[in-house]
């Protein structure tokens, strides 16, 4: 049994009346924000209005709207903000609400279709990704125009933490709403057919034997760094070398446990990314600014590939989920931005923990510019995969599809 989002939009006279009332309130809020000089909030509110109005316009029926209770829920942070409440939280609540409405509208009026569970994940990812874009944008504004939107690294990181928490809460609320909505129809979906799935995995340049030699050499280097860290009693360096070394052995684990022989070029790609990070812990990050950017771009390209593979696996397994090429590319970039925000939060938490208990942070941040630089080059790596390299991850997507289907059949 699987849910469909499409029943959330339909002709309901009484419900449409409520939706139009909420829309009118939002139009008034847009004017109030604009008159008060809060143009950022005026734009945010206008976006909600545009999404709400787009539905009846597309249906050519004033009684066909998004559910009034859902639109009202999205409008709550706007109303709270008009009274000056919770200025740090409400912007991200609005972003999460817009992502939620977009998921419903895209499902109803485009070739895209997604289940409520995937829509929940989409809301979380979009909220975190927008927070990353916002961080880069206001930093650039401060640097180029001399504004002072950011008070420092700590304020920026707490904004990212708030965005992540807000996205998760919004996603959970949306899923609970869908489970209890009378509009949602339960549709029985047959077992997925993956026979048409292209299981070919594009090979990276080079010979397989040369790839394996390079992988072993890099693993030896990682092992040497880990041993050096143990001898010196450097816990931070050991974690930052031992962890990446363990990651390089995952392809071998997949081959032994699941019979999946990953392309040797992709294994080399993973090993290079791991080695770059471990070598960076040998003070290369602090010495060479470009090295940190390179490492983040390469690592982000792998994260982007994982995001693509997951999206393709979900799409192939659940027939109620259909994406097009443009959406897959967009999802890859959003996924990497969200993971990048999550990584910065981990680094921030690591620093806070080290400050509380004493000692050196396992994952370090080097100021606001470092955070923004990381987010920018994460995006560079994501764009590279989204535009040129998704074919390298089709094999992983095929394997994930089989695993998801196997787990589903056991349930």
- Those residues with Cβ within 8 angstroms of residue 70's Cβ, 6 or more apart along the chain or in another chain: 8, 100, 101, 104, 177
Q: Which of 187, 220, 250 is the last residue of a domain?
A: 187
pLDDT at 321: 66
pLDDT at 191: 40
| Residue whose entry in the numeric block shows the structure tokens 């009484």 | 14
pLDDT at 193: 42
pLDDT at 1: 42
Q: Is the pLDDT of residue 190 over 70?
A: no
User: Which candidate, 385, 381, 361, places its Cα nearest to that of 373?
Assistant: 381
Q: Which of 152, 187, 222 is the last residue of a domain?
A: 187
Mean pLDDT for 245-261 is 70
- Those residues with Cβ within 8 angstroms of residue 93's Cβ, 6 or more apart along the chain or in another chain: 76, 77, 166, 170
| Residue whose entry in the numeric block shows the structure tokens 């950011």 | 150
pLDDT at 119: 83
Q: Is the pLDDT of residue 410 over 60?
A: no
Report yes or no: 101 and 71 within 8 Å, Cβ to Cβ. Answer: yes
Mean pLDDT of the chain: 78
**Is residue 200 situated within a structural domain?**
no
**Is residue 71 situated within a structural domain?**
yes
**pLDDT tens-digit profile of 16-65?**
899 999 999 999 999 999 998 888 899 999 999 999 998 889 888 898 88
**Is residue 198 situated within a structural domain?**
no
156 and 93 belong to one structural domain = yes
Largest CA distance in the chain: 74
147 and 19 belong to one structural domain = yes
**pLDDT tens-digit profile of 386-407?**
776 566 566 666 665 555 444 4
- Those residues with Cβ within 8 angstroms of residue 243's Cβ, 6 or more apart along the chain or in another chain: none
pLDDT at 206: 52
Q: How far apart are CA 173 and CA 310, in angstroms?
A: 23
pLDDT at 45: 92
177 and 213 belong to one structural domain = no
**pLDDT tens-digit profile of 113-131?**
777 778 888 889 999 999 9
**Is residue 57 situated within a structural domain?**
yes
Highest mean pLDDT among 67-81, 250-264, 289-303, 315-329: 67-81
**Is residue 194 situated within a structural domain?**
no
Q: Is the pLDDT of residue 80 over 80?
A: yes
Q: Which phi and psi angles does 10 have, rounded to 5°? A: -175, 170
Mean pLDDT for 302-308 is 75
390 and 241 belong to one structural domain = yes
Q: Is the pLDDT of residue 201 over 50?
A: no
170 and 260 belong to one structural domain = no
pLDDT at 181: 66
pLDDT at 197: 41
Q: Is 302 helix (H, G, I), strand (E, B) or coil?
A: helix
159 and 236 belong to one structural domain = no
Q: Which of 156, 187, 218 is the last residue of a domain?
A: 187
pLDDT at 129: 92
181 and 223 belong to one structural domain = no
**Is residue 95 situated within a structural domain?**
yes
Q: Is the pLDDT of residue 262 over 70?
A: no
Token pair, residue 367, equals 């100021």
pLDDT at 225: 87
User: Distance of alpha carbon 77 from its chain centroid, rounded?
Assistant: 23
Token pair, residue 257, equals 């446990």
Q: At what angle do helices 13-35 and 39-59 cross, to 10 degrees?
A: 150
279 and 402 belong to one structural domain = yes
pLDDT at 266: 65
Q: Decide which of 373 and 190 is more confident.
A: 373
Q: Decide which of 89 and 190 is more confident.
A: 89
How many structural domains are present in the chain? 2
Q: Is the pLDDT of residue 322 over 80?
A: no
Report yes or no: 271 and 248 within 8 Å, Cβ to Cβ. Answer: yes
Q: Decide which of 3 and 356 is more confident.
A: 356
User: Distance of alpha carbon 235 from its chain centroid, rounded?
Assistant: 30
CA distances (Å), origin 87, targets 22, 36, 91: 22, 15, 7
**Is residue 296 situated within a structural domain?**
yes
Mean pLDDT for 273-282 is 78
Highest mean pLDDT among 121-135, 175-189, 278-292, 397-411: 121-135
Q: Residue 108: which pLDDT band, with cuts at 50, 70 and 90?
A: confident
- Those residues with Cβ within 8 angstroms of residue 108's Cβ, 6 or more apart along the chain or in another chain: 5, 6, 8, 9, 55
Token pair, residue 42, equals 């005026």
User: Which candidate, 334, 325, 209, places its Cα nearest to that of 265?
Assistant: 209
* Domain interval for residue 183: 2-187
146 and 98 belong to one structural domain = yes
Mean pLDDT for 290-319 is 75
Report yes or no: 398 and 348 within 8 Å, Cβ to Cβ. Answer: no
73 and 222 belong to one structural domain = no
**Is residue 177 situated within a structural domain?**
yes
168 and 278 belong to one structural domain = no
Report yes or no: 124 and 170 within 8 Å, Cβ to Cβ. Answer: yes
181 and 212 belong to one structural domain = no
Q: How far apart are CA 268 and CA 210, in angstroms?
A: 10
Token pair, residue 95, equals 């972003």
Q: Tell me the helices (H) and strands (E) count for the chain, helix number first.
A: 15, 4
Report yes or no: 3 and 319 within 8 Å, Cβ to Cβ. Answer: no
């Amino acid at each position: 049994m699987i849910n469909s989002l499409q029943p959330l939009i339909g002709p309901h006279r009484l419900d449409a009346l409520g939706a139009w009332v909420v829309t009118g309130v939002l139009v008034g809020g847009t004017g109030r924000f604009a008159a008060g000089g809060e143009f950022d909030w005026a734009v945010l509110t206008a976006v909600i209005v545009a999404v709400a109005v787009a539905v009846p316009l597309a249906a050519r029926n004033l009684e066909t709207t998004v559910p009034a209770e859902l639109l009202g829920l999205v409008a709550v942070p706007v109303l709270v903000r008009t009274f000056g409440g919770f200025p740090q939280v409400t912007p991200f609540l609005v972003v999460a609400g817009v992502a939620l409405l977009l998921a419903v509208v895209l499902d109803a009026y485009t070739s895209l279709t997604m289940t409520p569970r995937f829509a929940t994940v989409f809301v979380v990812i979009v909220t975190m990704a927008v927070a990353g874009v916002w961080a880069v944008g206001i930093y650039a504004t401060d640097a180029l125009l001399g504004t002072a939107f950011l008070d420092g690294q700590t304020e920026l990181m707490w904004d990212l933490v708030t965005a992540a928490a807000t996205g998760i809460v919004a996603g959970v609320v949306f899923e609970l709403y869908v489970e209890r909505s009378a509009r949602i129809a339960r549709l029985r979906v047959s077992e997925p057919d993956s026979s048409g799935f292209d299981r070919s995995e594009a090979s990276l340049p080079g010979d397989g034997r040369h790839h394996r030699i390079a992988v072993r050499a890099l693993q030896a280097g990682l092992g040497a760094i880990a041993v050096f860290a143990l001898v010196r009693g450097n816990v931070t360096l050991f974690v930052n070398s031992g962890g990446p070394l363990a990651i390089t052995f995952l392809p071998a684990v997949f081959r032994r446990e699941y019979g999946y022989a990953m392309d040797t070029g992709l294994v080399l790609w993973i090993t290079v990314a791991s080695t770059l990070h471990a070598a960076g812990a040998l003070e290369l990050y602090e010495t060479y600014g470009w090295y940190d950017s390179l490492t983040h771009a390469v690592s982000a390209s792998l994260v982007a590939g994982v995001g693509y593979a997951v999206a393709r696996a979900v799409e192939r397994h659940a027939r109620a989920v259909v994406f097009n090429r443009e959406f897959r590319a967009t999802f890859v970039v959003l996924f990497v931005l969200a993971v990048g925000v999550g990584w910065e939060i981990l680094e921030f938490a690591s620093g806070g923990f080290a400050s509380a208990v004493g000692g050196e942070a396992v994952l370090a941040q080097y100021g606001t510019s470092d955070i923004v630089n990381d987010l920018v080059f994460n995006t560079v790596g994501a764009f590279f995969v989204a535009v040129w390299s998704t074919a390298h991850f089709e094999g992983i997507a095929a394997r994930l599809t089989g695993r998801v289907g196997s787990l589903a059949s056991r349930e």
